[in-house]
Structure 1
Amino acid sequence: MGQLQYYSDLVVKVASDRDRSAFAELFDHFAPRLKGYLMQQGADANLAEEIAQDVMVTLWRKAELFDPSKSSASTWLFRIARNRRIDRLRRQKTAELDPEDPSLQPSAPADVASEMDARLREERVREALKSLPNEQQDVVRQAFFTGLSHSEIADRTGLPLGTVKSRIRLAFGRLRQVIEADQAVDVD
C-alpha cells in the first residue's frame, strides 16, 4: 500500500470509527509538516503551531468530509491549513494584506490530462520500485515516502551512511532505466 493511500485510509478510519490510534498517527505525521509549511508561508512559529493544531482538530471533527477519490489526505490537510492562514490574514485586516498575493488566489482547477499523466507516472514508479532489490526499496521508501534524511536512515538501519547513499544512488539508476524502458515501449 502506498504512503498516500495509507494516510487516506487512516482519515477514513477516523471518519468511520473515530479511531484514536489512526488520528494519533495522522497527528504525529502531519502536524509538524503543516507547521513547517505555514512557517514557509510567512506565519511565525506560534501562529503556525496554532493553525496546525486547528487543522488537526478539524480533521478529527470533520473527517467524514474527506473524499479520497478527490484528493490525498495530505492535499486535503494542506489545503485546510492554507485556507485557515488566509482566514487569519483577512481577519487581521492589516495594510500588509495584498489582494494580489498568490497565496490568496484560488487554486487553478485541476487539469484532467495532467492528473491522468501524474497518476500514470506514479503507477510506473510504483511498478519500477517493485523491481528493486529489497534493501534498495527499503532506503528509497524511508527517504522519499517517510521523509527521513540519509543520516536518519543510517541510524535506523544500522547501515553506514555511505551504504545508504550508494543504495539510493543505485536505486535511482535502476528506476531510471526501468521507467525509460517502459516509456520507450509506450512510444513504439
Structure 2
Amino acid sequence: MKNILPIALLLALSACANFPANNTQTMVPAEPLANGCIGSTELPAKYKGKFMAVEDAALLAESLGEPSKGKLCQGQVYELKQGESVVIYRAWNSTNPGSEKGKWWAASKPKGKTAGYREDYEICYQWSPLDKLTSCTLKAGTKVVIGNGQSAECSQYLTYLVSAAQQIYIENAAASVEDCKTYDAVFSWK
C-alpha cells in the first residue's frame, strides 16, 4: 500500500501535464523564447490592415526593458495607416493627473480582477492604484510599439513574470491621441 500511493500520485500528476493534441485550452504557460519572452508581437486580429510594420530602432529600444524592470520584453514598431483609427485604453493614477496620457496602453478595455490586470501588464501597486480609465482614439500616422511585457520586481515579496499579454507603447501619447473619455473606478466586490 505504501508504494501504491506515490505511484498513483505520479500518474495523476503526469496526466495533468500530458494534454491531448486537440485540446483547445492551454493550462500551462506559453513556452519562453530564447530571449525569455513569451507571446507574439504580431498585430491583434482587430488591428490587421490598420497598421504597417516600420523600422524605428530608437523607439523600439526605448520601449524594451531589462528583466525585473518592467517595460516590454519584445516588440515590433507599427505605424497607424492614414484614414484608419483604433481605440486604445489606459488605466492610470488619479493622484497624478499627468499620468492620464502616459506611455503604456492596451488594445482592449480592462475587465476582470484588478490583480489579474496588474499581472498581465506588470503594473506594480507602487506605480498606480489603477483608479481611472481613459479610452482614446489613436491618430493616423502615429508610431507605436506592440509587444509583450517584461518581468517587474515590485518588492521582495512581489514579482510579475514576463507576460504574453500585448501592450502598446506610445512615446508621446498627449500628441498622439484624441477623442478621449475618462472613467472612474468603482468598488464592485464579488
TM-score by length of 2: 0.20
Greater length-normalized contact order (CA 8 Å, ≥ 6 residues apart): 2
Q: Higher strand proportion, which one?
A: 2
TM-score by length of 1: 0.20
Q: Higher helix proportion, which one?
A: 1
